[in-house]
Amino acid sequence: MRSNPLALICAVVPFLQACLAAPTVDLGQIVIASHSTNASDIRAALKKSSIIPDVLDDFTPSVSLHLSYPPSHSDVSLGNRLSPSDVKASPFFSISPLSLFLTPSRTLKPDTTYTLALTDPDATSRSDPNKGEMCHWIATNITSESSTAETRDVVFTPSFDELMPYIPPSPPPKTGYHRYVFVLLAPSSSTEASPNAVRTTGLGLKKPKDRPHWGYGKVGKGVRDWAEDNDLVVVGANFFYTENEKQ
């Protein structure tokens, strides 16, 4: 009996939709997620907010970065507005490929070590960023254990090291909205297309000398410079806005 190709397609599509809609499983601070986001939408949002080029050079995201703040479960969603009271504790986070069929031979390889940074380019205000960029957080040694062939999900160890402890975003009064930018970084060697690219663990990153200007002592210096000095490349980003209640 010959199979019906149309019937096969109709059977597969609901399965794929179910995979993409799979719930998030909590593993403590880091979670497993099955999300899908359009790379062009992420890039467009970063450009519209001038994060590209103020904070990052132009790049094509290879992963989607998902963050949610406890206990309110306030999500970071490419430029949404959150209150300072929502972001007092460090967020839960996960990453996932931007396509269900993304080959994990590049940034989503098993044993790739990731770094997540949070930076404020608008300290003390967007019109006068005399302390920008301000380093708010660096979490590193985030390591993927596996990537399944069916879903391309990335499974993380439920721990990481804080190179710079989390400081909650708290813009000064009467300084308007600040952009708070999460940047996901990977070793440049792990983003090479070659199947023989070196697997990196325990990055041994250099801690910034200070939080204002990421220790470089010059307005506008920040995560871009620090990443370059530590041989890291940007693979994903997300951001939100917040302001002091007194305006």
Instruction: Dump pLDDT digits (tens) for 4-19.
Output: 443 333 443 444 444 4
Residue 154 has pLDDT above 60, yes or no: no
**Could you tell me if 70 and 89 are in contact, meaning their C-beta atoms sit under 8 angstroms apart?**
yes
Residue 194 has pLDDT above 60, yes or no: no
Rounded Cα distance between 184 and 95, Å, is 9
- For the ranges 63-67, 86-90, 214-218, the lowest mean pLDDT is seen at 63-67
For residue 163, the domain's CATH number is 3.90.280.10
- For the ranges 81-90, 117-126, 185-194, 200-209, the lowest mean pLDDT is seen at 185-194
Please indicate, yes or no, if residue 176 is contained in any of the structural domains. yes
**Could you tell me if 130 and 161 are in contact, meaning their C-beta atoms sit under 8 angstroms apart?**
no
Please indicate, yes or no, if residue 173 is contained in any of the structural domains. yes
What average pLDDT does this structure show over 49-74? 94
What average pLDDT does this structure show over 160-176? 96
Q: Would you report the helix, strand and coil content of the chain in percent, each value rounded to 5?
A: 20, 30, 50
The percent of residues above 90 in pLDDT, for the chain, comes to 58
What average pLDDT does this structure show over 213-241? 96
Residue 192 has pLDDT above 50, yes or no: no
Please indicate, yes or no, if residue 28 is contained in any of the structural domains. no
Please indicate, yes or no, if residue 5 is contained in any of the structural domains. no
Residue 246 has pLDDT above 70, yes or no: yes
Rounded Cα distance between 170 and 168, Å, is 6
| H/E run at residue 7 | helix 5-20
Please indicate, yes or no, if residue 118 is contained in any of the structural domains. yes
Cα separation values, 242 from 44, 128, 129, 165, 175, Å: 20, 16, 15, 20, 10
Question: Which position has the higher pLDDT, 109 or 88?
Answer: 88
Which residues, 6 or more positions from 87, have their beta carbon under 8 angstroms from its beta carbon? Answer: 69, 74, 168, 169, 180, 240, 242
Please indicate, yes or no, if residue 10 is contained in any of the structural domains. no
What average pLDDT does this structure show over 183-194? 70
pLDDT of res. 200: 41
Residue 152 has pLDDT above 90, yes or no: no
pLDDT of res. 128: 96
Residue 165 CA neighbour count, 13 Å, CB half: 3
**Could you tell me if 41 and 79 are in contact, meaning their C-beta atoms sit under 8 angstroms apart?**
no
Rounded Cα distance between 118 and 182, Å, is 5
3-state secondary structure of 6: helix
7 token code pair: 């019937």
Q: What is the pTM of this model?
A: 0.78
pLDDT of res. 95: 81
Instruction: With cut-offs at 50, 70 and 90, classify the pLDDT of residue 108.
Output: low
pLDDT of res. 94: 85
pLDDT of res. 181: 98
Domain count, the chain: 1
The percent of residues above 70 in pLDDT, for the chain, comes to 68
What DSSP character marks residue 70? T
Q: Chain-wide mean pLDDT for the chain?
A: 78
Please indicate, yes or no, if residue 238 is contained in any of the structural domains. yes
Rounded Cα distance between 179 and 241, Å, is 5
Please indicate, yes or no, if residue 29 is contained in any of the structural domains. no
Ranges 28-32, 37-41, 139-143, 229-233, most confident: 229-233
What DSSP character marks residue 212? B
Question: Which position has the higher pLDDT, 9 or 51?
Answer: 51
Q: Please give the residue range of the domain that contains residue 184.
A: 39-243
